[in-house]
Structure 1
Amino acid sequence: MTDPNTPDPNASNVPPPPPAPPAQPAPSYGATPSYGAPATQKTNVLAIVSLVSAFFISLVAIITGHIALNQIKKTGEQGRGLAIAGLVIGYIGLVVGIIFAIVWFAIIGAAISSGTVTTY
């Protein structure tokens, strides 16, 4: 017979795990959580219009970009980077368009003055 006071050689010396913490009750529908969702600020619409129109009509991008920057300064909305990007791309497009028009008219003028093109 074995003595009940002698430790079992097959048993480990690990203490039992602590009791699990009580489970949190599931929130019911319609209940507000104890934390607030971060407030999302809206992006200025004219800043978006400025960036999008910069690829098509540079003058519209420049005008809406300046208006958007003015509104963003007053209201604190998001979109300052979009408005600046629209302005930069718009100004670059406007300068490239003006250079293209000057070169185009110079070529047409040179062709007319050399007699290559006849006018009626």
Structure 2
Amino acid sequence: MTEPTTPASAPAAQPAPTEKWNVLSIVAFVLAIVQLNVVAIILGFIGLSQVKKTGERGRGLAIAAIIIGFASIAFWIIIYITVFAAMAANPDLITTN
């Protein structure tokens, strides 16, 4: 009888090196979600710059933080303008008795 041939001991599979995440991109994204928009936009741009230089992960989070920050600021400006225009158009709504 012949024994099945086994291949020479295969090297153990090395775990793939994990890529680092850019911390500023993560922080910027979280701050954009909790509506600290100006800080999120600034950190988003800084994180995006760092990602380009270092090759870390987090480019999408930085871009999302920037977009969410600007969109949220625009949204709140529109809300304020609408509310103040409605109050100016209807002074009876703001009467004090």
Once the two structures are overlaid, the 10-residue window that deviates more, 53-62 or 80-89, is 53-62
Gaps of 5+ in 1: 1-15, 26-32
Query: Which of the pair is proportionally richer in helix?
Result: 2
Among 51, 57, 68, which residue is 2:29 paired with? 51
Determine the C-alpha separation between the residues in 1 that align with 2:39 and 2:88. 30
State the match for 1:90 in structure 2.
69
SS of equivalent to 1:47: helix
Q: How does 1:32-111 map to 2 (within 5 A)?
A: 36-57=14-35, 58-111=37-90
Q: SS of the counterpart of 1:39?
A: coil
- TM-score w.r.t. structure 2 length? 0.76
4+ runs deviating over 6 angstroms: none
- The match for 1:117 among 68, 74, 94 is 94
Q: Secondary structure at the match of 1:54?
A: helix
Residue 21 of structure 1: aligned partner: 5
The structural deviation recorded for 1:37 is 2.8
Residue ranges of structure 2 left out of the alignment (5+ in a row): none
Cα distance in 1 between the residues matched to 2:93 and 2:74: 29
Aligned partner letter, 1:106:
A
> Normalising by the residue count of structure 1, what TM-score does the alignment of the two structures yield?
0.64
Quote how far apart the aligned CAs of 1:82 are: 1.1
- Residues 27-72 of structure 1, C-alpha deviations (whole Å, 9 max, x = no match): xxxxxx6654322121111111222222221222211111111111
Cα deviation, residue 111, structure 1: 2.8
> Aligned-residue CA RMSD in angstroms?
2.6
- The residue matched to 2:56 in structure 1 has which SS? coil
